[in-house]
């Protein structure tokens, strides 16, 4: 009934379905430019991700897509193949500034942020410098010096971990308020517990740490785990028993038990047993033009006699 | 003039307005129950019309009368609806309706949309099951109305013995006879077949399209898949996105083949797909990769996205 359908290649959309806060779409101050999508370096993965600058670049939003298989939109009188639902949500710009401030720290000097936040691959990153929220909170992750009205910064790991710890705790309280299941047993967000979940504080901390880790690099994530005094859980991949390796030898591998030895082909090779008188007389019968019985059951069997 | 007259009859004697009010669902039409049927032992015939066509509804009909009146029914000269012309069928339906003092009937009109959605839903509900359930529903309706049922005659759908066993178990105390060609063997089944066929013809002729198709070309022929008129009509009204009007049974292979070749491909998550292809699409790792010496690089490198996002199917994107 169902034939194999070929999927046509993705074509570019000219529209998207987006959920965004009013603040992100506010174009009030006409001079300062409209909100715009931009690719920036994702602080967790280092690869490019899509973000949105609010009008005048003063605020930053991340873009996440709700994406499931087999979804399309009916929009007005059109059909949109891409069934994604895009969420534009506020993000603390400091998360995106942090990698630049961190890499500048290798030189060990105080520098102006403008000098640190430069990226050949993502030239748009300089626009982060307009984000007031990020610029006003640099002191959370860096030491500050002011010389002649100019501000200089240097990455500070202690401060950063403290700042991240606060983020984790704020996330914990939000998780509790939002009634999000954080226990290990729960695998589906659709799963609703009848009984109030008796999740431990550690479960919340771990869950929140995992969420915050989506915005920082892996090393920092591990440091943060220590800072939160949470023991690292070894991943299930590592706890798997080592796969047994067969000893390599030059000899061909042989099966422990050989079921093929009872096949008819092997029988044929054995020396013929003594035949009874009846069999002997049958053997003398002229068999020309006869086919072997097995030839009727398999088209591939060659005629041995003709 | 004759045509006009027939239309007058049809609107008068078989009122399909209940069905026409919403032809996307199943609908039951019935005569009044003759008083004599509530006191005397009755026989009941079941037959269907419009099982094969790709267009229009399938109609199930029952007719019932007291066992003692079987001879009167014979005198009406009801016969297998297929051997009659349309005019003869209309005429016989009129006679049946005039004999309302001892003959009752009821119809279950299964809209093409009901057929499509039943057969194409996740837990497939095939045409035989649909037919059996329609028949059972109608017999139950007669019982609920107080008809003193003793004998039921049915033209078979699928193997006769199994069907007979199913109906006998469902209605203990009623003698069920399932026979192929029952419509030519038992007059009460012939009567049921005439009711069903007349209703089907009327429903198809006066089909009210729920879709905005403008001036619809109603020259769709018999509605059977092998009718060239039907086929060209199907081609004409094939929409690349939506397929067909609800008048068409989507579950028929005729309709599906045309949609597969002419319409946009639509993928559902219960589509059958090759295991490997499905895995590739879902970004799963092929089972084979676990047996090779080195694990695929993506398995060892990237951090897993936090379950908050994966559980909610949320992902970062880098292009719109």
**A179-190 per-position pLDDT tens digit:** 888 876 544 445
Report the share of chain B in percent with pLDDT over 90: 55
Phi-psi region of B50 (alpha: psi -120 to 50; beta: other; left: phi over 0): left
Beta-carbon contacts of B190 under 8 Å, excluding residues fewer than 6 positions away, are: B45, B47, B78, B79, B80, B81, B183, B184
**Worst-scoring range by mean pLDDT, B7-21, B58-72, B82-96, B252-266?**
B7-21
Is A6 an interface residue toward B (CB < 8 Å)? yes
Query: Is residue B181 within 8 Å of B155, Cβ to Cβ?
Result: yes
List the Cα angle A272/A273/A277 in 5-degree steps: 115
State the count of interchain CB pairs (< 8 A) between A and B: 82
3-state secondary structure of A74: strand
Whole-number Å distance between alpha carbons of A105 and B120: 63
Neighbours of A238 (CB within 10 A): 7
Whole-number Å distance between alpha carbons of B243 and B116: 12
pLDDT in tens, A68-77: 989 999 998 9
All residues of chain A having their beta carbon less than 8 Å from the beta carbon of residue B265 are 5-8
Nearest to B317 among A6, A50, A218 (CB): A50
Nearest to B318 among A49, A79, A188 (CB): A49
Query: Alpha-carbon torsion A91, A96, A101, A102, what sign?
Result: positive
Is A218 an interface residue toward B (CB < 8 Å)? yes
pLDDT in tens, B187-202: 999 999 999 999 999 8
Whole-number Å distance between alpha carbons of B266 and B251: 15
Is A48 an interface residue toward B (CB < 8 Å)? yes
pLDDT in tens, B199-242: 999 898 888 888 888 888 888 888 999 999 999 999 999 999 99
Give, in order, the Cα–Cα distances in Å from B37 to each of A37, B14, B67, B108: 76, 21, 9, 20
Nearest-Cα residue of chain A relative to residue B304: A214
Is B293 an interface residue toward A (CB < 8 Å)? no
> Does position B302 have pLDDT exceeding 70, yes or no?
no
Query: Is residue B160 within 8 Å of B138, Cβ to Cβ?
Result: no
Query: Is residue B214 within 8 Å of B227, Cβ to Cβ?
Result: no
> Does position A286 have pLDDT exceeding 80, yes or no?
no
Q: Give Rg (Cα) of chain A.
A: 35
**Range A100-127 average pLDDT:** 91
Using pLDDT thresholds of 50, 70 and 90, give the confidence band for residue B70. confident
> Closest by alpha carbon to B70, among B150, B180, B172, B179?
B150
> Does position A105 have pLDDT exceeding 50, yes or no?
yes
Task: Tell me which residues of chain A, numbers 26 to 45, contact chain B at a CB-CB cutoff of 8 Å.
Answer: 37, 39, 42, 44-45
Most confident of A8-17, A201-210, B265-274: A201-210
All residues of chain B having their beta carbon less than 8 Å from the beta carbon of residue A207 are 308
Nearest to A218 among B253, B303, B320 (CB): B303
pLDDT in tens, A199-219: 688 889 999 999 999 999 999
Strands B27-30 and B149-155: unpaired
Neighbours of A221 (CB within 10 A): 18
Whole-number Å distance between alpha carbons of B243 and B235: 10
Beta-carbon contacts of B236 under 8 Å, excluding residues fewer than 6 positions away, are: B217
> Does position A256 have pLDDT exceeding 70, yes or no?
no
Residue A279 confidence (pLDDT): 74
pTM beyond 0.80 = no
Query: Is residue B44 within 8 Å of B147, Cβ to Cβ?
Result: yes
Token digits for B252? 């028929």
Whole-number Å distance between alpha carbons of B199 and A22: 57
Q: Which residues of A8-25 are buried (b: 16+ CB within 10 A; e: fewer)?
A: eeeeeeeebebebeeebe
Higher pLDDT, A277 or B20: B20
Chain A interface, best mutation among B120, B239, B306, by max A CB count within 10 A: B306
CB contact under 8 A, A5 and B269: no
Task: Tell me which residues of chain A, numbers 155 to 194, contact chain B at a CB-CB cutoff of 8 Å.
Answer: 180, 187-189
Strands B104-110 and B149-155: unpaired
Report the share of chain A in percent with pLDDT over 90: 48
ipTM over 0.90: no
Query: Alpha-carbon torsion B109, B111, B114, B119, what sign?
Result: positive
Higher pLDDT, B277 or B26: B26
Residue A129 confidence (pLDDT): 93
Q: Find how far residue A93's CA is from the centre of its chain.
A: 23
Residue A120 confidence (pLDDT): 92
> Does position B98 have pLDDT exceeding 60, yes or no?
yes
Residue A300 confidence (pLDDT): 53
Nearest to B315 among A48, A64, A69 (CB): A64
C-alpha atoms less than 13 angstroms from C-alpha of A84 in its C-beta half-sphere:
20
All residues of chain B having their beta carbon less than 8 Å from the beta carbon of residue A65 are 314-317
Residue A74 confidence (pLDDT): 93
Query: Is residue A209 within 8 Å of A225, Cβ to Cβ?
Result: yes
**Range B35-47 average pLDDT:** 94
Beta-carbon contacts of B169 under 8 Å, excluding residues fewer than 6 positions away, are: none
CB contact under 8 A, A210 and B308: yes
> Does position B45 have pLDDT exceeding 50, yes or no?
yes
Residue A28 confidence (pLDDT): 63
> Does position A178 have pLDDT exceeding 80, yes or no?
yes
Chain A interface, best mutation among B307, B310, B312, by max A CB count within 10 A: B307
Residue A222 confidence (pLDDT): 92
**Range B244-261 average pLDDT:** 94
> Does position A11 have pLDDT exceeding 60, yes or no?
no
Report the share of chain A in percent with pLDDT over 70: 71
Higher pLDDT, B30 or A279: B30
Is A73 an interface residue toward B (CB < 8 Å)? no
Residue B164 confidence (pLDDT): 93
Residue A119 confidence (pLDDT): 92
Q: What does the DSSP 8-state code read for residue B225?
A: T
All residues of chain A having their beta carbon less than 8 Å from the beta carbon of residue B308 are 180, 207, 210-211
All residues of chain A having their beta carbon less than 8 Å from the beta carbon of residue B311 are 187-189
All residues of chain A having their beta carbon less than 8 Å from the beta carbon of residue B267 are 5, 7, 70
> Does position A92 have pLDDT exceeding 70, yes or no?
yes
Nearest to A65 among B305, B307, B315 (CB): B315
Residue B195 confidence (pLDDT): 93
Nearest to A2 among B272, B306, B315 (CB): B272
CA–CA min distance B232, chain A (Å): 22
């Amino acid at each position: 009934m169902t034939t194999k359908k070929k999927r046509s290649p993705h074509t570019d959309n000219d529209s998207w379905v987006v959920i965004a806060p009013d603040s992100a779409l506010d174009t009030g101050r006409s001079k300062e430019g409209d909100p715009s999508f931009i690719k920036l370096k994702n602080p967790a993965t280092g690869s490019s991700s899509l973000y949105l600058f609010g009008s005048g670049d003063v605020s930053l939003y991340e873009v996440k897509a709700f994406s499931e298989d087999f979804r399309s939109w009916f929009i007005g009188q059109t059909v949109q193949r891409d069934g994604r639902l895009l969420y534009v949500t506020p993000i603390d710009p400091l998360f995106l500034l942090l990698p630049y401030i961190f890499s500048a720290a290798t030189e060990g000097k105080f520098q102006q942020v403008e000098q640190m936040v430069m990226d050949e691959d993502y030239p748009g990153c300089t626009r982060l410098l307009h984000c007031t929220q990020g610029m006003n909170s640099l002191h959370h992750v860096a030491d500050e010096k002011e010389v002649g009205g100019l501000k200089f910064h240097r990455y500070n790991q202690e401060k950063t971990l403290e700042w991240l710890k606060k983020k984790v705790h704020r996330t914990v309280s939000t998780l509790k308020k939002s009634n999000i299941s954080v226990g290990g047993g729960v695998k589906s967000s659709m799963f609703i517990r009848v009984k109030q979940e008796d999740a431990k504080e550690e479960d919340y901390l771990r869950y929140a740490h995992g969420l915050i880790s989506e915005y920082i690099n892996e090393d920092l994530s591990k440091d943060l785990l220590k800072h939160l005094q949470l023991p690292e859980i070894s991943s299930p991949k590592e706890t798997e028993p080592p796969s047994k390796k067969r000893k390599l030898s030059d000899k061909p591998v042989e099966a422990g038990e050989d079921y093929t030895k009872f096949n008819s082909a092997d029988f044929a090779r054995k020396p013929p047993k003594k035949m009874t008188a009846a069999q002997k007389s049958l053997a003398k019968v002229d068999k020309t033009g006869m086919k072997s019985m097995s030839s009727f059951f398999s088209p591939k069997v060659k005629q041995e006699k003709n | 003039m004759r045509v006009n007259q027939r239309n007058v009859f049809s609107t008068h004697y078989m009122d399909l307005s209940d069905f026409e009010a919403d032809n996307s669902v199943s609908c039951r039409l019935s005569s009044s129950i003759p008083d004599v049927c509530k006191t005397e032992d009755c026989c009941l015939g079941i037959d269907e019309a419009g099982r094969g066509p790709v267009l229009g509804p399938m109609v199930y009909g029952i007719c019932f009368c007291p066992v003692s009146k079987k001879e009167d029914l014979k005198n009406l000269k009801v016969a297998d609806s297929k051997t009659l012309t349309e005019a003869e069928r209309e005429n016989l339906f009129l006679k049946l309706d005039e004999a309302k003092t001892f003959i009752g009937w009821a119809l279950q009109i299964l809209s093409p949309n009901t057929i499509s959605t039943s057969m194409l839903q996740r837990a497939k509900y095939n045409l035989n099951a649909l037919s059996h359930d329609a028949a059972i529903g109608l017999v139950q309706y007669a019982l609920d109305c107080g008809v003193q049922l003793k004998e039921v005659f049915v033209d078979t759908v699928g193997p006769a013995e199994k069907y007979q066993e199913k109906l006998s178990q469902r209605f203990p105390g009623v003698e069920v006879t399932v026979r192929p060609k029952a419509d030519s063997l038992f007059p009460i089944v012939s009567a049921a077949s005439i009711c069903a066929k007349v209703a089907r013809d009327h429903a198809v002729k006066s089909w009210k399209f729920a879709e905005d198709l403008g001036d619809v070309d109603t020259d769709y022929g018999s509605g059977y898949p092998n009718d060239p008129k039907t086929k060209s009509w199907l081609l004409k009204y094939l929409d690349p996105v939506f397929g067909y009007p609800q008048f068409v049974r989507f579950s028929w292979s005729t309709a599906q083949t045309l949609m597969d070749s002419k319409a946009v491909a639509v993928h559902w998550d219960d589509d059958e797909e090759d295991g490997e292809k499905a895995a590739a699409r879902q970004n799963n790792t092929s089972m084979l990769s676990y047996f090779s010496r080195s694990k695929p690089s993506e398995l060892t490198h990237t951090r897993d996205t936090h379950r908050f996002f994966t559980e909610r199917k949320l992902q970062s994107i880098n292009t719109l």
